[in-house]
Amino acid sequence: MPITLDVRLDGFDQPIGHLFGDDRGGVAFAYRPDYLARPDAMAISMSLPLSETGYGDPPTRAYFDNLLQERDTARADIIAKYDIANDDIAGILLHLGKDCSGAISVLPEGAPATKVPGDLLADYVPLADDRLIAIIQSLHERRALPADVQDPSPLAGVQSKIAVTRLPDGRFAEPREGSGAPTTHILKVPDDRHRRDALHEHAAMELSRSFGFPTASTSVVEIGGISVLAVERFDRKIDQDGRIIRRHQEDFCQALGLPARQKYERRGTEGRRFDAVAVGQLLDQTIDPAVEKRLFVEETFFDLLIGNVDGHAKNFSIFHLPGNRIHSTPRYDVMPTMLDRGTTDEFAYRIGNAELLNALSWDAVDDFLAALGFSSRAGRRRLAGDIVPATIRRLNEKIEDIAAEYLKDFADLLATNIRTTCRRLDIEIPTPAGDRDTFVR
C-alpha cells in the first residue's frame, strides 16, 4: 500500500522532505517547502538538487538504495520477515531507515528524530574487553554479532566492520541505547585469509597522508589477537558545545545518481557510469574545480601505483555545505587490493582506453585528462609530465620504509607497479624499484 516516510538530516529539527512509496514499489522524493525556505538548506544529493518539484523513481531509487548496506543480511531479514519485495525501497527503509549510515535517516511519518549530537561524557558506554573481543571475533569469523549487540551505524562495503566511539582515554564505546548519538570510528576486521589487511591498509593510508592528500586518520589495534584497523570518521566534527555531530556527505554513486551495483565503470553504460567524464562534470560543481580535478588526477596515479585498483564510486565522497556548496571529503578507503591474488587487477575506472596497468600509455593518460575536462592539449602534457613522474619518484623513495615495516609483499608490489608503469611510459626505472623481487599475481 502507499507509504509516506519522513526524511531527516541530522542538525535540523524538522524533516527536510518526504519519501513516497506506491503500491507497486515505485518511489518518489520531495523537499518540504519550509526546508527550502531556510537560508541554510542544503541538498541531500547532487542528483536531487533543491527544488520545489519532486523527483520520480529513477533518481530517488538510486539515492535511497545507496543508503542501505551492500552486505544485505539485514535487508534480507527484513524482506523475509515482512514479505517485502526486494525492490520495495520505501518498504525496506520503513524498517531500516533509522540506521542509515551518515547524517540522513528515513523514518515513519511523524516519528521523532533518531539521530542527535552526542555528549562523550553522557551518551556512551565503554565496551568491556570481553565484549569487544567477542564482537571482533564474530566479525573476523564472519558470524552474526553477539545477540545483544546492535551496530549503531551499519556501514556500506563488503568488509566486516562496526562503528564505535573512541573515548578521550582511548577506550572504545558504544552509544547508549536510544541515545541517537553518533559514532566516531570504524573498526575494520579482516577474515582469516586476509589477516594482514589492517597493516596493509594502514600503510597505504599513511602513504596517502605523506603525499599531502586529505586522508582519514588510522591506527592498527590488536584485539583478541587480531590486527584491526581503526579509522577515524571524516564525517564527524565537534560543535561549539563540545558535542559530536554528523557532517552531511554522499559518495559518488549517490551524487551521480547511480545504483551501488554500478560503482565500477565497467558495469555502467555510456552517459550513465562512473567514468572520467562523469567525475569531471561532478568536480566542476565544487568550490574550486581546478584544485579538485588536479587532486583527483594525483590520487588516481598514486592509487594505481600502490596497487589500489578498487577506487570505485563508493570510495569517493563529497561534503555538502550550506549555500549549495560542495567539496571532496578526505580519503577513507585506500587499500593495495592487488595484494589479494583473488581479486581483479582491472581499474575501477579507465585511464583513457587502458583498463590495466600494463596497457597504460601517454595517449591513454592524455585521453583521461581530456575526459576530466582539461581542454588544452599543451596543458594536459604539462600536467601529466608533472604528476606521473613525480608520483613514481616519491613512491620509489618510500619502498625501503615499507619493506622495513615487515611488509615485503607491499614493497614488492609497489616496485613491480613502478617498473610496469616506467616501461609503458618509457621512463627510466629508478632504484630501489628496479632491484626488488617481482610481485606475481
All structural domains of the chain with their residue ranges = 3-108, 124-236, 248-435
In this predicted structure, what is the pLDDT of residue 75?
A: 74
> What are 171's three cell numbers?
577506550
> What are 119's three cell numbers?
555528549
Give the pLDDT band of residue 323 (cuts 50, 70, 90): confident
d(CA 142, CA 123): 29
3-class SS at 137? helix
Over residues 148-176, the mean pLDDT reads: 78
Higher pLDDT, 158 or 6: 6
Residue whose C-alpha is closest to residue 338's, from 306, 298, 300, 299? 306
> What are 320's three cell numbers?
555538502
Give the pLDDT band of residue 144 (cuts 50, 70, 90): confident
Over residues 45-58, the mean pLDDT reads: 96
In this predicted structure, what is the pLDDT of residue 48?
A: 97
pTM: predicted TM-score of the whole model, two decimal places: 0.94
In this predicted structure, what is the pLDDT of residue 145?
A: 76
- Residue 264 corresponds to which amino acid? Y
Over residues 95-108, the mean pLDDT reads: 91
Residues 6+ apart with CB under 8 A from 190: 140, 159, 160, 196, 197, 198, 226, 227, 228
| φ, ψ dihedrals at 190, nearest 5° | -75, 155
3-class SS at 253? helix
Over residues 60-73, the mean pLDDT reads: 82
d(CA 61, CA 87): 9
Average pLDDT, the chain: 93
Residue whose C-alpha is closest to residue 275's, from 355, 221, 219, 216? 355
Please, are residues 199 and 227 in contact by the beta-carbon 8 Å criterion?
yes
Residue whose C-alpha is closest to residue 275's, from 352, 198, 197, 177? 352
d(CA 296, CA 278): 13
Which fold, 248-435?
1.10.1070
In this predicted structure, what is the pLDDT of residue 302?
A: 98
> What are 65's three cell numbers?
538504495
In this predicted structure, what is the pLDDT of residue 156?
A: 46
What would the CATH number be for the domain defined by 124-236? Answer: 3.30.200.120
Give the pLDDT band of residue 151 (cuts 50, 70, 90): low
In this predicted structure, what is the pLDDT of residue 46?
A: 97
Residue recorded with cell 626505472 = 429
Which of 99-113, 204-218, 407-421 is predicted with the least confidence, judged by mean pLDDT? 99-113
| φ, ψ dihedrals at 371, nearest 5° | -65, -35
Over residues 411-419, the mean pLDDT reads: 98
Task: Extract the runs of DSSP E, i.e. beta strands, from 276-356.
Answer: 317-321, 325-328
In this predicted structure, what is the pLDDT of residue 68?
A: 84
Helix (H) or strand (E) holding 220: strand 218-223
Percent of the chain with pLDDT over 70: 96
Residue 152 has pLDDT above 80, yes or no: no
In this predicted structure, what is the pLDDT of residue 72?
A: 58
d(CA 256, CA 252): 6
Residue 158 has pLDDT above 70, yes or no: no
Taking the alpha carbons of 368, 372, 378, 382 in that order, is the dihedral positive or negative?
A: negative
For the chain, first and last CA: distance in Å? 52
Please, are residues 215 and 302 in contact by the beta-carbon 8 Å criterion?
no
Task: Extract the runs of DSSP E, i.e. beta strands, from 86-217.
Answer: 104-108, 124-126, 160-166, 172-175, 185-189
Over residues 394-401, the mean pLDDT reads: 98
Give the pLDDT band of residue 159 (cuts 50, 70, 90): low
Percent of the chain with pLDDT over 90: 85
In this predicted structure, what is the pLDDT of residue 248?
A: 97
Higher pLDDT, 155 or 343: 343
- Residue 283 corresponds to which amino acid? L
Per-residue pLDDT tens digits for 419-438: 999 999 999 999 999 999 99
Give the pLDDT band of residue 143 (cuts 50, 70, 90): confident
Residues 6+ apart with CB under 8 A from 290: none
d(CA 109, CA 377): 54
Q: What does the DSSP 8-state code read for residue 205?
A: H
> What are residue 292's DSSP bridge partners?
none
- Residue 342 corresponds to which amino acid? G
| φ, ψ dihedrals at 154, nearest 5° | -55, 135
Please report, to the nearest 10 degrees, the dihedral formed by the alpha carbons of residues 34, 40, 45, 49 taken in order: 60
Residues 6+ apart with CB under 8 A from 225: none
| Buried residues in 13-23 as b, exposed as e (16+ CB within 10 A) | eebbbbbbbee
